[in-house]
Amino acid sequence: MRRSLKHAFREQETPNADMSQTSENSHFGATNSQEALEQFNARLATQEKVRSNAVLAIEYLITASPEAMRDKSREQQDGYFHDALDWLRNKHGGENVIYAGIHRDETTPHMYAYVVPIDARGKLNCRSFLGGAKALNQMQTDFAQDVGQPHGLERGLERSRARHVPIREYYARICRAEQKEPAVNVPEPSIRDRLNPAAYGQRVANSVVEQLGPRWKELSAKEQELGAARQEKREARSALQEQSQRLRPIVDVLRTLTPAERKVFVDIARAAGERIRGNRTQERTREPQRTKPSRDKGISR
């Protein structure tokens, strides 16, 4: 939560944000990450007991296609986001929507909201809101009807096979796009070069090779590292398959055993392992100690 809130308030480096537009962002319910985190902890404190695997917060994302958002004025965008926030508060209770904000410093304006999923009985219960694909599908349909349609938006395609790009890969793509290849300077032809095009062509080729040489070496080194990593992966996969084949008979036997029989099997295997380790220790202690040659001057060599 702390890291996510720091991202929300731009309190950490955000590669995909235009920092010159960050002042246009909006915040509802908190003015910084620490304040939002305190409100989050205060809301959780109302729970007598929180399971170790409980979902403590839901982060909602409210947006639309880049084309749809570009066609809306700032006032129309704000109207859509405010209606969306009211919809979330009606769904979860205003006291459970601890903080929301609008990012306008990224490519497509969007709202995000942090919700502590406390149900009508006052219990932390995310499943009651988002339990299963059917509930999520229905929630998106309800949102499209209640909020999207009044603002001229259509529901997204149901049962779409599209998948979001992982955030790490997304940022990696941005960084690759920002890396510019080195410019190549081509020497201007002189009068002599015009009389001897072949010599000029050779001079241009030599100049290009000299300029791109460092970059070529860098890419070659990376290619070699990638090749070595792929070879290690192939060797590891082969070793894993070999080990799986060796253990398959044991696994097949274990599947047929009852829980009590498996326990007996494990106890026997553990005792056998201890016995083997003990035998190896005894063998090491019985090994004759090598004597070092004497360095006494009185002994003849």
pLDDT at 171: 66
- Per DSSP (E only), the strands in 104-157 are 110-115
Determine the Cα–Cα distance for residues 160 and 144; give it in Å rounded to an integer: 16
Residue 31: φ, ψ to 5°: -110, -10
Q: The pTM is what?
A: 0.56
C-alpha 257/C-alpha 255 separation (Å) is 6
Q: Give the pLDDT of residue 165.
A: 74
Kindly list the averaged pLDDT for each block of 10 residues, start to end, along the chain of length 301: 93 88 94 95 91 92 92 95 96 95 93 95 91 87 94 84 72 62 73 79 82 80 81 83 81 79 81 79 64 51 42
CATH class of 2-167: alpha beta
DSSP string, 233-248: HHHHHHHHHHHHHHHH
Calpha distance 55→124 (Å, rounded): 8
pLDDT at 61 (0 to 100): 95
pLDDT of amino acid 37: 95
pLDDT at 64: 92
Bridge partner residues of 102 (DSSP): 26, 111
Question: What one-letter code names the amino acid at 54?
Answer: A
**CA 74, chain centre distance (Å):** 32
Cα pseudo-dihedral 271, 274, 280, 281, rounded to 10: -140
φ/ψ of residue 253, rounded to 5 = -70, -45
Distances in whole angstroms, Cα of residue 253 to Cα of each of 214, 249, 258, 265, 270: 59, 6, 11, 10, 17
